[in-house]
Structures are given as C-alpha cells and as structure tokens.
C-alpha cells in the first residue's frame, strides 16, 4: 500500500494546534489583565468573537484549508468505495452510505463539519458516539481516498423535505 | 358471562387456579386448549409485575381481570409520563408495591414513580455513568429491555456493558459491575432475571464479532459468580458430564471448537441478548444465542455450535445441560434468542413439561424442556428457506435455492433476517391455552461477501435489503395453539408487529403497532375491542398492575426504534439535523405515521 501522504496530516496538525494554543493563551491572559484588582465572578471585559460559538471555526485557515490530494479523482474515489467496504464502514453507515448504526453520508449534512479537512479529522481521530479512530491504523492516503468517496456520496443532495411519493433506499437491518 | 367471579380477584393462588379451571369449563370456546398451564406462575401479588415477563416461565400473563371483552371499549388514557429520552423504548415497566420502575434507552436513566400520589411524582431518578462510545457500538439502536426486582433492589444493564443495582427505595447505586467490553464490540441491551440471589445477564454484539457468554452476578455484592461462553472449549462453555443433548449429532467433546474452522469461534457471536426463563423444579435457566459471526457462512463452514441455539443451564453453576440449534450453520441471521415460554401441555395423552419458542427462522417449536427434544415444529409465518423440521434429528430441511453464499445474490428469502419474530416477546394465557405472538412478514435478498474482523466494528459480510412478504401485509398478531402447531386466528397489520404482548385473566390481550396503535383484543377470537393512537410507534411490551385505588391499569412504552426504527425505516428520526435519511424500501410509509418519541402511556377503564 502506498504511503505517499502518510505524513501529510501530522505537520499541518501541529501547525493547527500551535495556532490554537496561541489563541487560547492570549484569551487566557485577557481576564488576568482586566481583573488585576480583585478576582470577581463576573468578567469586567466584553468578549466579542463572532466565530467562537461554533466549535472548530477557530481552526479556520489551518485544518479547514487542508486539501484532498484526490479531490475529484474518479479512480481514487473508486478505491475509496472499496476501502469503505474493507474497513467495515458500510455496515455502520449503510451499504450506500445512507445511514444505519451511524449517520448518513447521502444528506450533505455533517455533524462535525463537511470540508475535506473536517472529514479527514473525523476519520483520523474518531468521534464520540462510536466512530473509531483510524489515524493510527490506516495510512493517510487511504483516509484521503475515503474522504473523497464519502464526500462524493452527497454531492448536490438536498434532503430537507421528505415527500412520501419520493425516493426510497434499500436498507439492511441487523 | 365471561366476567371473572369477584372472589377470584382476591383469591389465593389455589383458589385462582380453581377459579380459572371453573371458568374455563364455562367458556366452551373453540379456541380453548384444555389442560395447559404456566409452568411456574408468579408468586407475587396479581397486581404487581416484578420481572421482565412477570414470571420465570416468561408467560407475560397477569390474572388481573377487571378489564374484559365486555367493558374494554371503555378504556381510556389514564395518565402519561415522558421519559425524556428518544429512540427505541423496548421492554416494560415494573410495578412493585405502589412504585413503578422505568428504564430508558441509552443513557439508561431509571425512574421510580410514586403511584400513591396525584400526578405520580418521582421518588427518585438515577442517571448512571454510561460511555457515549457505546451508542455507535450497538448494532440496532440503543434500546434497553428493562429491569428486574429482587431483595429491595432494581437491577438492569447499561449499554456500555455494565450491570447496575440500585436501592429500590432510594435509587442509590449499590454496585456497578463491568460485564462486557465495548472495545470488543460488546454492549448490553437485554433484561436480566434474578434467580436465587443471582442476576443472570448476557451481552449483545452478534454483529460485531464478539464471543458470546452468559453470566451470573451475586445480587448482594455485584461480584460475578459464574460465566459460561457459548462457543469455544467445553471448559469455557461449562460443558461436562451433565451435558446430555437430545440429538446424537449434538453430542461430543469440544463441539464449540470442532464445528468451526480454525480459530473462527473466537469471533463467532452466539451472544445472549434476548429473554431468559427459569424452571425452579428442574433448576434450569433457558436462554437463546444469537447468529454466528459473520453472517457470511462461507467463512465458517460447520454447525457453528452453539450459535443460533436454545440452551438449558444449571441456574447455580451455569453448567450446560442440553442445547439445540434451530438453525445449525445459520446463514440467514436467524438468531435463536427469542423467549422460551415454559408451560405444561397435554401432548400425546400425557402432560409434557414444554418449552414453546417462536424462532427467527419462522418455525414455532414445542419442545420438552427437560430433555431438549422437539415435539413439534411448524411454520408460524410465511417461509421458503426450509420445507420443514426432521423430528428425528431436530434439523431443518434446507431449500438449497435459498441458501445464502459469498458472491451470490439470493433473492426472495422468507422470512427476512428480522425473522418471523424478533425481540418482541409473545404471551401465553392459561385461560385460553393459546400463545399470542407478534410476528413479521418480511422477505429479503441476501448477498454474501468476505469480511475482515476489525475489533469494535461490524463483522457481518452481507447485505440484505428487505421487502414485504406474501399476502400484502408485513406483520400479523396471531393466536397459536402449541399443542397442535396451528394458528387459531390473526390480525394482519401493515407493518411488522414489533411490540410485546400482554395476556390477562380478563381474556383481553394487548399489543401495539409500529405506527402507534395500542390495541386491546379479545383473547378468544381476535376481535379488536379498543384502540388508541399513541405518540410514537410501539416496540415495548405492555404490562398490567393494580393501582393503590384498586383499579387495573395497563401500561406500555411509546417510542419507536430498534432495528425497525433506526435501520429499516431510517427516516423516523427528527432530532438529528446532521443525519437526514431517505425512506427505506422495506417500510416506505412508516414515517408518515410516526416519529421517534419516549412516553409511557397508562390505560384504565
């Protein structure tokens, strides 16, 4: 198995975490600076970070700009589809990615963000409700193939309205 | 005419039995099967419900008889309670004394409701530690099938593999014991039973390549007393000199290894996620085991013992006494975990100590529970994978056209992998002698493929989209005569009947539907006496109790989920903005009628 981009993620990740650490440390200093007289329970300063409400947005410009080397590459996407079966992804997320134990990939909705970097991170690190962490088990090049395949499943989908004369998907129970 | 005489309500067990007999002779219904009885009726008062199926025999029968075919039309909703949790509400509440005990799906909150106070306020609420990762390890939604009461303790299982005991009076956690490992794919959804101070539990994970076991925990200390595996060497399975299976092909040393290729038994499934029964006289517990892992049979030629099996074990030691595989070398996901109802039946001029089991594979088995002999096995749903059971061996005659295989897409196998019946427990009424069985009428296509074992991920190796079975209905609530192996009557439903059943001394039986209808039915003829549309589809099991006011109440969870809600319908969820699924082909209209919920509904006259 090719390990071309095995180390692609790690340096960028370090860059990202460093950036985060800088922001956190500067934020941590703010209350100290403004509450020099006595420790109070009420901040005496005004916090205005329009991006701090949604988790992950603080990382914008770092992880989110990670680009998938296989973006739009049909051959790599097809390989990703095979990996989706080989690593048992299909039995959690549905044979066609339409959702089973785990969430659907056909709805163009993303619990932890839908950029290539977000999806890479979800696979690499795992997620709290049972998504395993694959980063130490499979190569980055394989994860990128999976990212490309998973993202391809919902291109152009809009599932906001369910019309009961509409599409159905063959599902398999356990 | 069929009203129970007043003295029956307060009668001793002896009087009650006499009363049942007397009333039966007055009934003279064609559906009556004479000479049948529950093996071990519950010993607690009629108005209580202290274990999952009310009694050790798993009858789900209560002698309460205020609600009758004559007055059931006056039923109405008496009160409701929101559990605060969505997803599949399987199982049933308990009532002990004047307290009702509930357990929710993950995160498995327990509630104690004071039935003596207006509005039924909580006595306590217990929120256990419960690892979130378990949610994605559970194959078929994050269900819990209920608690059991004994010695002043409420005992139940957590999805993340723990068993807990709390003080029934205060809700204080008394012990919390790790029994399963989610890192290996083990979760726990089943309801324990408590036998002579031992809590009997098993795990889920038949789709995750786990190695199935059943264990006993000391209710006083929370310490494991014994653990028996269902695959592997005889020593692990607690197979010894007492092991005497009825059929010769089931005898021999270390069958839990030799009926598997290589080390494949180590990830061979055979978990105990269903209901457990107990016969105090024989001192045997009865449990089923799940499908073998993986579904793809080409990776595990052999009988795969003791997956897809019914097993009798000594309640004190866990020793295996007999075992029987309804589906040897299962290649259709036909778990044998469905409940084993223990009854005494008149068969061939003698009273037999029977075990009645409605298997996923579509056959209803009437067995001798002392020996494991199959007395009768008849289809209770439409099926085509087998032409029948050979009573000389107990084995099915398999229709080779419907045998699944790696690399082949076998079409139109009936029943589907959901089985003729699944988790939804049946009930037995000694008044009619009939079994009341919630069934599925689904078929499937099955394409097997090779699969690699990766710990904590599904180990399945097959894709099996499902569709409605023959006849234009997808479920049927049936009354079954287990002496003759015959359906007596049935109510066809547009969706699989995925709820459990309650049978009562008033000759009213109760069940619910996936689209949210709660129904009271005449036990003798299947006439629907009352129905009410609850908020969310019913996958739990109704129970009945007597309130402090002396009235009979019937309680049931409303809250669609489980396999049908999460996997098959898919689109009944509405609470996850990041997971918006399209309709499934199997039940394409279900979400028109119901969405996820989590409510207790209580009915009375």
The pLDDT tens digits of the residues spanning B262-288 come to 999 999 999 999 999 999 999 999 999
Containing A74, the helix (H) or strand (E) segment is helix A74-86
Phi, psi of B127 (to 5 degrees): -115, 100
Q: Tell whether A110 lies on the interface with B, counting CB pairs under 8 A.
A: yes
Answer yes or no: is pLDDT of B29 > 50: no
| Position A41 confidence tier, pLDDT thresholds 50, 70, 90 | confident
Report the Cα A49 to chain-centroid distance in Å. Answer: 22
Tens of pLDDT, residues B194-208: 999 999 999 999 999
In chain B, % of residues over pLDDT 70: 95
Least confident of A42-46, B114-118, B444-448, B532-536: A42-46
Give the number of beta-carbon pairs within 8 Å between A and B. Answer: 142
User: Closest by alpha carbon to B60, among B274, B246, B277?
Assistant: B277
Task: Enter the tokens of residue B414.
Answer: 């009936």
Residues in chain B closer than 8 A to A171 (CB atoms): 465-466, 567-568, 570, 584-586
Give CA–CA dist B604/B583, Å, rounded.
36
Q: Tell whether B138 lies on the interface with A, counting CB pairs under 8 A.
A: yes
Give CA–CA dist A114/B466, Å, rounded.
31
| Position A23 confidence tier, pLDDT thresholds 50, 70, 90 | very low
User: Closest by alpha carbon to B542, among B144, B71, B52?
Assistant: B52
Q: Tell whether B254 lies on the interface with A, counting CB pairs under 8 A.
A: no
Answer yes or no: is pLDDT of B74 > 60: yes
| Position A61 confidence tier, pLDDT thresholds 50, 70, 90 | low
User: Closest by alpha carbon to B539, among B574, B508, B497?
Assistant: B497
Residue B268 and residue B355 in contact, taking contact as beta carbons nearer than 8 Å: no
Residue B204 and residue B186 in contact, taking contact as beta carbons nearer than 8 Å: yes
Q: How many CB atoms lie within 10 A of CB B22?
A: 12
* Mean pLDDT in residue range B111-137: 97
| Position A36 confidence tier, pLDDT thresholds 50, 70, 90 | very low
Answer yes or no: is pLDDT of B31 > 60: no
Rg, Å, chain A Cα set? 20
Phi, psi of B288 (to 5 degrees): -100, 170
Answer yes or no: is pLDDT of A31 > 90: no
Answer yes or no: is pLDDT of B108 > 90: yes
Answer yes or no: do B136 and A109 touch at CB < 8 A.
Answer: no
Buried b (16+ CB within 10 A) or exposed e, B322-333: bbbbbbbbbbbb
Task: Enter the tokens of residue B242.
Answer: 């007492």
Give CA–CA dist A116/B493, Å, rounded.
46
Answer yes or no: do A168 and B568 touch at CB < 8 A.
Answer: no
Phi, psi of B8 (to 5 degrees): -65, -30
Answer yes or no: is pLDDT of A7 > 50: no
Q: Tell whether A22 lies on the interface with B, counting CB pairs under 8 A.
A: no
Domains of chain A by range and CATH? Answer: 1-27+44-160 (1.10.760.10)
Residues in chain A closer than 8 A to B464 (CB atoms): 172-173
CA distance readout (Å), A151 to A79, B49, B320, B431: 14, 51, 51, 60
| Position A22 confidence tier, pLDDT thresholds 50, 70, 90 | very low
Tens of pLDDT, residues B323-349: 999 999 999 999 999 999 999 999 988
Per the listing, tokens 């007043």 go with B6
Answer yes or no: is pLDDT of B376 > 70: yes
Task: Enter the tokens of residue B275.
Answer: 């209901």
Give CA–CA dist B187/B146, Å, rounded.
15
Residues in chain A closer than 8 A to B588 (CB atoms): 164, 168
Give CA–CA dist A143/A147, Å, rounded.
6
| Position B480 confidence tier, pLDDT thresholds 50, 70, 90 | very high
Question: Which residue in the set A100, A109, A167 is minimally distant from B580, CB to CB?
Answer: A109
Q: Tell whether A82 lies on the interface with B, counting CB pairs under 8 A.
A: no
pTM: 0.90
Task: Tell me the pLDDT of chain B averaged across its residues.
Answer: 94
Q: Catalogue the long-range contacts made by B22-31 (C-beta closer than 8 Å, 24 or more residues apart).
A: B23/B431, B24/B431, B26/B1, B27/B2, B27/B431, B27/B524, B29/B432, B29/B524, B29/B525, B31/B432, B31/B434, B31/B479, B31/B481, B31/B488, B31/B489, B31/B524, B31/B525
Task: Enter the tokens of residue B548.
Answer: 């402090």
Answer yes or no: is pLDDT of A4 > 90: no
Question: Which residue in the set A90, A95, A99 is minimally distant from B570, CB to CB?
Answer: A99
| Position A60 confidence tier, pLDDT thresholds 50, 70, 90 | low
| ipTM summary value | 0.90
Give CA–CA dist B479/B490, Å, rounded.
6
Tens of pLDDT, residues A95-154: 899 999 999 999 999 999 999 999 999 999 999 999 999 999 999 999 999 999 999 999
Residues in chain A closer than 8 A to B140 (CB atoms): 101, 173-174
Q: Hey, which residues of B are catalytic here? A: 207, 291, 333
> Does residue A41 or residue B449 have the better pLDDT?
B449
What per-residue confidence (pLDDT) applies to B14?
36
In chain B, % of residues over pLDDT 90: 94
Containing A79, the helix (H) or strand (E) segment is helix A74-86
Q: B565: helix, coil or strand?
A: helix
């Amino acid at each position: 198995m090719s390990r071309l981009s095995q180390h692609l993620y790690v340096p960028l990740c370090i860059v990202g975490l460093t950036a985060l650490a800088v922001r956190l440390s500067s934020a941590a200093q703010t209350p100290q600076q403004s509450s020099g007289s006595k420790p109070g329970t009420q901040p005496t300063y005004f916090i205005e970070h329009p991006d701090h409400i949604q988790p992950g947005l603080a990382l914008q410009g770092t992880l989110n700009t990670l680009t998938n080397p296989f973006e739009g590459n049909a051959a790599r996407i097809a390989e990703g589809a095979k990996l989706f079966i080989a690593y048992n992804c299909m039995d959690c997320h549905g044979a066609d990615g339409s959702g089973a134990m785990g969430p659907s990939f056909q709805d163009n909705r993303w619990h932890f963000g839908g950029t290539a970097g977000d999806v890479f991170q979800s696979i690499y690190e795992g997620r709290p409700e049972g998504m395993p962490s694959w980063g130490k088990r499979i190569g980055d090049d394989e994860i990128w193939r999976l990212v490309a395949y998973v993202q391809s499943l919902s291109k152009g989908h809009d599932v906001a309205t369910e019309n009961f004369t509409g599409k159905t998907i063959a599902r398999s129970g356990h | 005419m069929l009203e129970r005489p007043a003295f029956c309500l307060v009668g001793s067990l002896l009087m009650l039995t006499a009363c049942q007999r007397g009333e039966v002779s007055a009934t003279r219904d064609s559906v009556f099967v004479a000479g049948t009885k529950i093996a071990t009726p519950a010993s607690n008062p009629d108005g209580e419900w202290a274990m999952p199926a009310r009694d050790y025999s798993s009858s789900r029968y209560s002698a309460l008889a205020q609600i009758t075919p004559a007055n059931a039309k006056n039923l109405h909703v008496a009160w409701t309670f929101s559990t605060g949790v969505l997803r599949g509400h399987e199982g049933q509440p308990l009532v002990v004394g004047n307290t009702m005990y509930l357990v929710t799906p993950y995160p498995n909150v327990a509630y104690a409701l004071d039935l003596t106070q207006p509005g039924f306020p909580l006595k306590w609420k217990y929120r256990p530690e419960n690892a979130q990762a378990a949610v994605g390890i559970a194959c078929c939604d994050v269900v819990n099938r209920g608690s059991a009461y004994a010695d002043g303790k409420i005992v139940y299982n957590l999805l993340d593999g723990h068993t807990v005991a709390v003080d029934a009076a205060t809700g204080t956690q008394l012990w919390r014991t790790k029994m399963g490992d989610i890192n290996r794919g083990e979760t726990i959804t089943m309801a324990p039973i408590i036998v002579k101070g031992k809590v009997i539990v098993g795990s889920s994970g038949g789709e995750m390549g786990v190695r199935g076991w059943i264990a006993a925990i000391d209710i006083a200390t929370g310490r494991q007393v014994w653990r028996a595996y269902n695959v592997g060497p005889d020593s692990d399975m607690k197979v010894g000199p007492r092991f005497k299976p009825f059929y010769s092909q089931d005898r021999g040393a270390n069958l839990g290894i030799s009926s598997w290729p290589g080390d494949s038994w180590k990830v061979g499934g055979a978990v105990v996620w269903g209901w457990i029964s107990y016969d105090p006289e024989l001192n045997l517990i009865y449990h089923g085991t799940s499908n073998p892992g993986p579904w793809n049979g080409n990776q595990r030629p052999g009988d795969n013992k003791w997956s897809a099996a019914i097993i009798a074990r000594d309640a004190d030691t866990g020793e295996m006494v007999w075992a029987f595989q309804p589906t040897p070398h299962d290649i259709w996901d036909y778990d044998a975990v469905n409940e084993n109802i223990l009854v005494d039946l008149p068969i061939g001029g003698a009273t037999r100590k029977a075990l009645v089991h409605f298997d996923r594979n579509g056959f209803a088995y009437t067995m001798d529970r002392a020996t494991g002999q199959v007395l009768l096995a008849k289809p209770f749903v439409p099926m085509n994978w087998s032409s029948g059971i050979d009573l000389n061996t107990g084995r099915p005659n398999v229709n080779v056209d419907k045998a699944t295989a790696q690399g082949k897409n076998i079409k139109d196998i009936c029943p589907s992998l959901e089985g003729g019946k699944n988790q939804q427990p049946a009930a037995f009424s000694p008044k009619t002698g009939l079994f009341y069985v919630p069934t599925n009428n689904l078929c499937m296509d099955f394409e097997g493929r090779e699969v690699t074992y990766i710990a904590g991920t599904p180990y399945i190796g097959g894709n099996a989209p499902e569709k409605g079975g023959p006849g234009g209905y997808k479920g049927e609530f049936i009354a079954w005569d287990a002496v003759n192996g015959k359906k007596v009557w049935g109510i066809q439903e547009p969706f699989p009947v995925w709820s459990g059943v309650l049978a009562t001394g008033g000759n009213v039986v109760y069940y619910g539907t996936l689209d949210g209808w709660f129904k009271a039915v005449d036990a003798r003829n299947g006439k629907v006496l009352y129905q009410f549309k609850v908020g969310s589809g019913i996958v739990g099991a109704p129970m009945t109790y007597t309130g402090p006011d002396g009235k009979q109440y019937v309680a049931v969870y409303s809250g669609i989920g489980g396999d049908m809600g999460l996997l098959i319908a898919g689109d009944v969820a509405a609470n996850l903005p990041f997971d918006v699924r399209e309709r499934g082909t199997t039940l394409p209209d279900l979400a028109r009628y119901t969405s996820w919920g989590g409510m207790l509904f209580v009915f009375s006259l």
